[in-house]
Amino acid sequence: MTTIWLTVRAAVTSFLLMPGSASGHHGWAAFDPKLTVTLKGTVAAFHFVNPHSVVEFDVKDDKDQGQKWQGELTSAIRLAPKGWTATSLEAGDEVTITGYRAQSGVRVMRITRILSSNGKELKLDSEN
């Protein structure tokens, strides 16, 4: 009887603590939807992970100087039903990426649209 009581107590405690940990997520507050940017670049790496998948890509500025950028997507769990896999973007892929730039001015964006070099749009969750 004691074992059952301890198991039930542990399950209830875990359940009650779960919402608290979920509320710690930062969301998209670091990005300004008024600062939309579209960049053409080359994928350096793609991280199909949680809580946010990340695209690292290289862009040439108007002086032909290389710039490293990072774009955040929603989680791998939310991208997978849209057909995404860990190989949806690979190093060397040419892409056009649109998103909301970080308010801090660093070269980071919340991705809202990705086009491959052949013009095909990769489907994103509406709540990236």
Q: Determine the Cα–Cα distance for residues 19 and 55; give it in Å rounded to an integer.
A: 29
Q: Residue range 39-67: average pLDDT?
A: 95
pLDDT of residue 24: 45
Task: Tell which residue, 32, 17, 40, 51, has the closest CA to residue 94.
Answer: 40
Going from the C-alpha of 21 to that of each of 14, 51, 63, 69, the distances in angstroms are: 11, 13, 45, 30
pLDDT at 27 over 90: no
How much is the pTM? Answer: 0.75
pLDDT of residue 109: 97
pLDDT of residue 21: 40
Q: What SS3 state is found at 16?
A: helix
Pairing status of strand 54-60 against strand 121-122? unpaired
Q: Any bridge partners for residue 100, and if so which?
A: 36, 110
Over residues 81-127, the pLDDT tens digits come to: 999 999 999 999 999 999 999 999 999 999 999 999 988 999 996 54
116: region left, alpha or beta (phi > 0 left; psi from -120 to 50 alpha): beta
pLDDT at 14 over 80: no
